[in-house]
Amino acid sequence: MWTVLWFRPATMSTLLLLLLLSNLCRLGQSMSREEKLKLRNQVVEMFDHAYSNYMDHAYPADELMPLTCRGRVRGLEPSRGDVDDALGKFSLTLIDTLDTLVLLNKTTEFEEAVRRVLTDVRLDNDIVVSVFETNIRVLGGLLGGHSMAVMLKDAGHHMQWYQDELLHMAKDVGLRLLPAFNTSSGLPYPRVNLKHGIRGPESRTGTETDTCTACAGTIILEFAALSRFTGDPVFEVHARRALDFLWEKRQRNSNLVGTTINIHSGEWVRRDSGVGAGIDSYYEYLLKAYILLGDDLFLQRFNIHYASIMKYISQPPLLLDVHIHKPLLPARTWMDSLLAFFPGLQVLKGDIRPAIETHEMLYQVTKKHNFLPEAFTTDFRVHWAQHPLRPEFAESTYFLYKATKDPYYLEVGRTVLDNLNRFARVPCGFAAMKDVRTGSHEDRMDSFFLAEMFKYLFLLFAEEEDLTFNVEDYIFTTEAHLLPLSLSTAPHTPSPPANTTVQAPSLPHLSAYVKSLWSEEELDDSNFDWTCPNTRLLFPDPAFPRNLRDPIRSAVDKSCPRPAIHREPGMGRPPLRAQDFMANNPDHLELLRRMGVSLIHLKDGRVQLVQHATQAVSAVAAEDGMRFMQEMMELSSQQQKEQLPPRAVQIVSHPFFGRVVLTSGPAQFGTDLSKSITGVRGFVTVAEPYSGCAELSNAAFVQGRIALLQRGQCMFAEKARHIMKAGAIGGIVIDDNEGSSSDTAPLFQMAGDGRNTDDVTLPLLFLFYKEGNILLEALKEYREVEVLLSDKARDRAASIFKGKPLPGILLESRRDVQEEEEDCSTDQTSPVPAATLDQSQVRTVKQDESAPHNEDVTPEDDVGPAIKRNPEPEEEPEVDMDSSRKSVEAMMADWREDLEAFQQMEDEL
């Protein structure tokens, strides 16, 4: 029995892009129909929880902030940088969710949502938005909504009043994005002002020079659909022009593209190449453009790229970035979570074996950490600990189940559901994970969670009769919006392909096309990519998929080695060793001065060391200073790897019941929560004085509780001693720097005061201002707030939720908490490694909180290298500082690469 997944009505001879055996393997016991129905209903209940909370607490804002139960309005909340470019004050989440409502059979809610969009949403806002995000979320959302409205209207039951209003809005959005394409290359500017277009600095646009490959190459589906719906070819013409330029600029030897390109010159700014952040949906749209539009040229380009991906990037089950000019040279040793879409794309391609292998690796990483970390290393440790509820893994799970009908993938989907309910569900929706190791949350629920996650999970568990329309008549965009395949027959007049090495003739049969494209002597195996795969030959043994998965499962289970940290020998022994240095020791500071090293206290509590060789008292002292700086860099690097992991502050009282978890920094003294099975649980109260720098006046009330303290005025250990004397069982220090957040700042670890701190026996944790304010607001509203201080969040399966019983389906579907696995999460705690020495990195650098801050520190200083040096070799030729400079430059290069890659991921979704 065979089934067609995708087809093009336009060219019936190439109709079968992908033929897959519908009953490839049924290993073990199949999931019963009743169990699938229960899981399908659970998906619907979870969607209702997220959607209703957005509508109740956030609409008409763009996004819901599920921890504080309010809408995220751009300009009113602290800026998150490029992430906020997705927000345009156009009710983003509602638009992004329109076609999800129809897929989940919520036609009444859909009709109401469409009326709201038409009545409330404005598009002429004077605001700068991401062209990429606005295209896939807003334009795609409106087109998906229009497709569903037309389908329902034609069915004769709903939307009889509809007169293409969503399509008119979509064209308005398209026209507002078009000015971004006014470049010599045809590649769009990354940002556009919705009201003023591209007008230079006065509209805060037009000054950018770079964009990501995916940002420029993920336009064709939405723009071509808009052209074919409206009959106006201008949109498709511009999208094709951008794709043509990217194809022309590929590296001709490797046939790979880089991550970032100059939109004016076409030069590659970042030459690393992979299938994750910055490139991912470019490849996706080449294949899907062929499926939707019926142009063989897109398939030709995709196949050429795909062959190179499998030759250079794919190292099953891993997908590792390489350099486009030296594709045999790896570009990094970690992978980002966005590549989780690739197994699903491989299913569409028909290359099932590597799809199974990579998906299994991703699943095992998910089981280790409950979610896919934003990035993870080749030995499956956490590299970036965030997880913003990305849907790509669920997407690939759905496509693999669709291809194989292996019930194994239904169990994978069940795991995804359970983890979302256990770890991400909060009273006002679902909160992104700030740290998958601790289970702490970020006040964030992106629109793609509603647009994509619930579509794929619903389809995974739904039976054919559960769907009101045939989903195979549509193709999913990268945001999972539904575009009808019938668009391939719509009239269009695109410009002829430019900058292509092969012109694809319009032939009725692919076999004839292949024969005309290559002579017999040039024919190679890659040409068979143009044929439909025979899955009977791929998998003659029904147990074959399991045989592919088992070795990968074993490999991940045996990962997480604990290599010994070897410290390189120093070049000599300076009078002051790095490991002995204390920032509040006057003798040490005098030694630093003599060596030409100055110490700067930054506003966030970190200390920065800078060496000026000419300020040393002698050439010998300058050389000692250089050695000291080198030692400090080595020590900083070593202790960065050894630093304590973040801790969790979990609000367990009504109405949170453990479902809100805040990222906190540990103290290097007091109770080690990682060695406590139960953690420390108690009600919180504000210490008086709030600073905790004197004996508490409300000691009787603090006794037996967890004290809340404000940072500043005295040492952390002193605060701990005062609340311990008052009888507190723990303490939480809240940052006094308004606006600080674990979203943007590196993990902060509280150091001691240079004295023996063995007398401190209670746990002390640190919350940045934003997270601390969530706790303070809860205390203000509910008066009695109970929290759990622990190394990671405990089970959140409370029998009461938001004052009401949990839906029975959630209680019935819950399984026992999995046994604790070996901790595989000791790599990095933040996407932005701490750039200067602070208490969280170098335990021997003790910072007195009362030390004066240097108000003249520049922003560059604040994000500088771990040790910033300013040598002047012309005046001190006898001091050789090349090796130290190289170490700094290498450290900065690594840091910038990680930061750029992380920001690229945030820009793209």
Beta-strand ranges (E) seen in 339-490 are 375-377, 382-384, 425-426, 429-430, 432-435, 440-442, 474-476, 482-484
SS3 state at 537: helix
Catalytic residue among 96, 133, 753, 791: 133
Distances (CA, A) of 552 to 338, 549, 745: 20, 5, 36
Catalytic residue among 392, 479, 838, 849: 392
The vertex-402 CA angle with 145 and 552, nearest 5°, equals: 125
Token code pair at residue 597: 């090293």
- Tell me which residue has tokens 């500043």: 712
280 is catalytic: yes
Residue 449 host element (H or E): none
Q: Which of 902, 824, 810 is nearest to 366 (CA)?
A: 824
How many residues make up the chain in this entry? 909
Catalytic residue among 244, 295, 321, 374: 374
- Tell me which residue has tokens 């393997």: 25
Q: Running DSSP on this structure, what letter comes out for residue 362? A: H
Q: Running DSSP on this structure, what letter comes out for residue 858? A: -
SS3 state at 756: coil
Distances (CA, A) of 838 to 117, 143, 601: 49, 50, 10
d(CA 52, CA 429): 8
d(CA 198, CA 844): 51
357 is catalytic: no
Residue type, 408: Y
Token code pair at residue 727: 């009888």
Q: CA torsion 662→75→337→137, rounded to 10°? A: 130
**Would you give the distance in Å from CA 837 to the centre of its chain?**
27
Buried b / exposed e across 587-596, counting CB within 10 Å, b at 16+?
Answer: ebbebbbbbb
The answer to whether the CB of 774 falls within 8 A of the CB of 661 is: no
The answer to whether the CB of 148 falls within 8 A of the CB of 98 is: yes
Token code pair at residue 827: 């790599």
Buried b / exposed e across 807-817, counting CB within 10 Å, b at 16+?
Answer: bebbeebeeee
Read off φ and ψ for residue 497, nearest 5 degrees.
-55, 135
Q: CA torsion 292→297→303→308, rounded to 10°? A: -130
Token code pair at residue 812: 């019935």
522 is catalytic: no
Which residues face 336 on adjacent strands?
375
Q: CA torsion 710→716→717→723, rounded to 10°? A: 10
Neighbour count for residue 828 (Cβ, 10 Å)? 24
d(CA 338, CA 335): 9
Residue 335: which residues within 8 A CB-CB, separation 6 or more? 274, 276, 318, 319, 320, 375, 376, 377, 378
Q: Which of 543, 535, 788 is nearest to 676 (CA)?
A: 788
Has 826 been labeled as part of a binding site?
A: no
d(CA 892, CA 895): 5
The answer to whether the CB of 376 falls within 8 A of the CB of 383 is: yes
d(CA 850, CA 418): 47
Q: Running DSSP on this structure, what letter comes out for residue 821? A: P
Catalytic residue among 111, 272, 280, 906: 280
133 is catalytic: yes
Q: Running DSSP on this structure, what letter comes out for residue 671? A: -
The answer to whether the CB of 460 falls within 8 A of the CB of 410 is: yes
Token code pair at residue 632: 């400090």
Residue 713: which residues within 8 A CB-CB, separation 6 or more? 691, 693, 849, 850
Longest dimension (CA), the chain: 91
Binding residues for Ca(2+): 478
Binding residues: 478
Q: Active-site positions? A: 133, 280, 374, 392
